[in-house]
């Protein structure tokens, strides 16, 4: 691959992480599940991609998210959040808050709507991003940071591009049955090997993969036990409270996710705004993600006692939330201000950009979504 070379300090950090992972592999008998490898490359203390100090977002990072594109994204979410808060409580939790721009934009828009927020709690494992968040949000006294979840929460949960960063299991279909993809070390380099799945993974495969018997041998894909566990944790978070979680990410319903032609899975890596499929490249210096199986997420939430309130494309959600009307508040004759916003909105809602690949799943308890959002619901497609 022809990708930008890291600087010496970054390369040294990656080499230290590789040694750490190799030691973990040796400790576990010579091989670890890919989910464990992904956990380490993303979250190993001080060395993982999200727990280390390298910039992640923006021009100097590896990728750009919707909140980085335009404040109208957060303002649109705020409209829906205001309706949920009116039925629950003035509290918000955001997982994986990036640079803090989404929090800033949501809080600013809620204030413009006359909604007084009591607390806005950020839960983020990235020390580098937390420092940027604290700088950007210094003027918002209701913002706080936490490493643990409250109990019996009422209000709104936001999770933009969080599920895709949760470790996945790689599984491959063979003639004798499904195998679990493992990572070993051969000749000083990481290498693939396969092993029999344990009972829990067999259950996840059976639950997540529709028409598995019809898939060809050699079919490689992912299942998402960690993300399913996160959905169950949302149910525990709400406890006896009322509210909703809005989860925005790229992915598909199960019948599209496990399509016979998607036979190499969805695993993807992001390094300096280059996308490629090699998870062993410069561990700790690149993002490693998988698309989200939204059917599995909805079922996990439902099994844990939450209601599936809505599912739709990002375009449907943003347009229903009024992003078009928000855009018109900028005078089209003011080209310097209007055109960048118009281009950003186009990127967020265009089917060829983020509009269709990204989806919004809303789950919760004791609340209803605004009528405009409810009418756009496509949860029957899950």
Please give the full DSSP string across 36-58, using - where no structure is assigned: HHHHHHHHSTTTSTTTSSS--BS
Range of weakest confidence among 119-128, 146-155, 331-340, 356-365? 119-128
Cα distance between residue 300 and residue 298, in whole Å: 5
Range of weakest confidence among 40-44, 125-129, 196-200, 364-368? 125-129
Over residues 255-270, mean pLDDT: 96
- Tell the residue number behind the tokens 């957060």, with chain if given: 74
Among residues 132, 138, 128, which one has the least CA distance to residue 99?
132
Query: Cβ neighbours of residue 44 under 8 Å, at least 6 residues apart?
Result: 17, 20, 21, 51, 284
Residue 191 φ then ψ, to 5°:
-145, 160
pLDDT, averaged across the chain: 94
Query: Cβ neighbours of residue 186 under 8 Å, at least 6 residues apart?
Result: none
pLDDT at 54: 58
Residue 124 C-alpha from the chain's centroid? 12
pLDDT at 273: 78
pLDDT at 61: 52
CATH of the domain at 186: 3.40.50.12710
Over residues 14-33, mean pLDDT: 98
pLDDT over 60 (residue 152): yes
pLDDT at 350: 96
pLDDT at 172: 98
Range of weakest confidence among 91-95, 144-148, 249-253, 308-312? 144-148
Q: Crossing angle of helices 225-238/294-303, nearest 10°? A: 40
DSSP 361: E
pLDDT at 373: 97
Query: Between these two residues, 56 and 267, which has the higher pLDDT value?
Result: 267
Could you tell me the pTM of the whole model? 0.95
pLDDT at 164: 96
Residue 39 φ then ψ, to 5°:
-60, -45
With beta carbons less than 8 A apart as the criterion, state whether 182 and 34 touch: yes
Query: Cβ neighbours of residue 353 under 8 Å, at least 6 residues apart?
Result: 346, 347
- Per DSSP, the chain holds a count of helices (H) and strands (E) of 14, 16
What is the DSSP annotation of 121-173? EEE---HHHHHHHHHHTTT-TTEEE-SS--SS--EEEEEES-GGGS--EEEEE
Instruction: Write the pLDDT tens digit of every residue in 320-336.
Output: 999 999 999 999 999 99
Write out the residue range of the structural domain in which residue 116 sits: 1-382
Cα distance between residue 373 and residue 360, in whole Å: 11
CB atoms within 10 A of CB 185: 16
Residue 333 φ then ψ, to 5°:
-75, -15
Cα distance between residue 269 and residue 88, in whole Å: 38
pLDDT at 60: 53
Q: What percent of the chain has pLDDT over 70?
A: 97
Over residues 206-218, mean pLDDT: 94
pLDDT over 60 (residue 375): yes
With beta carbons less than 8 A apart as the criterion, state whether 208 and 121 touch: no
pLDDT at 208: 96
Number of domains in the chain: 1
Cα distance between residue 135 and residue 100, in whole Å: 9
User: Sorting pLDDT into bands at 50, 70 and 90, what band is 64?
Assistant: confident
Q: Give, rounded to a whole angstrom, the gap between the first and last alpha carbons of the chain.
A: 37
pLDDT over 60 (residue 31): yes
Over residues 52-72, mean pLDDT: 71
What SS3 state is found at 296?
A: helix
pLDDT at 132: 87
pLDDT at 126: 72
pLDDT at 51: 85
What SS3 state is found at 352?
A: coil
pLDDT over 60 (residue 237): yes
């Amino acid at each position: 691959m022809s990708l930008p070379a890291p600087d010496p300090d970054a390369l040294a950090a990656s080499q230290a992480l590789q040694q750490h992972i190799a030691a973990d592999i040796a400790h576990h008998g010579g091989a670890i599940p890919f989910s464990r490898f992904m956990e380490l490359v993303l979250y190993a203390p001080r060395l993982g991609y999200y727990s280390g100090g390298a910039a992640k977002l923006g021009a100097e990072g590896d990728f750009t998210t919707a909140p980085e594109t335009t404040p109208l994204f957060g303002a649109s979410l705020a409209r829906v959040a205001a309706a949920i808060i009116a039925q629950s409580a003035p509290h918000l939790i955001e997982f994986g808050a990036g640079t803090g721009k989404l929090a800033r934009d949501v809080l600013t828009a809620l204030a413009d709507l006359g909604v007084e927020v009591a607390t806005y709690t950020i839960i983020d494992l990235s020390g580098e991003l937390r420092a940027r968040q604290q700088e950007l949000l210094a003027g918002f006294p209701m913002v706080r940071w936490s490493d643990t979840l409250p109990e019996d929460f009422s209000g709104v949960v936001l999770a933009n591009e969080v599920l895709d960063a949760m470790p996945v299991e790689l599984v491959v279909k063979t003639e004798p049955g499904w195998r679990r993809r493992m990572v070993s070390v051969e000749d000083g380099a990481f290498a693939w090997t396969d092993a029999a799945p344990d009972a829990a993974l067999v259950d996840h495969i059976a639950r997540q993969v529709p028409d598995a018997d019809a898939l060809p041998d050699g079919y490689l894909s992912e299942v998402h036990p960690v993300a399913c566990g996160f959905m169950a944790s949302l149910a525990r978070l709400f406890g006896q409270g009322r509210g909703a979680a809005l989860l925005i990410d790229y992915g598909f319903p199960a019948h599209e996710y496990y399509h016979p032609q998607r036979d190499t899975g969805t695993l993807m890596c992001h390094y300096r705004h280059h996308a490629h499929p090699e998870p062993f490249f410069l561990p700790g210096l690149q993002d490693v993600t998988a698309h989200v199986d939204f059917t599995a997420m909805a079922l996990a939430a439902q099994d844990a006692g939450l209601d599936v309130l809505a599912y739709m494309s990002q375009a449907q959600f943003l347009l229903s939330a009024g992003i078009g009307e928000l855009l018109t508040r900028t005078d089209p004759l003011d080209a310097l201000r209007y055109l960048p916003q118009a281009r950003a909105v186009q990127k967020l809602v265009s089917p060829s950009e983020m509009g269709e690949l990204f989806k919004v799943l809303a789950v919760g308890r004791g609340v209803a979504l605004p009528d405009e959002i409810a009418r756009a619901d496509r949860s029957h497609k899950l």
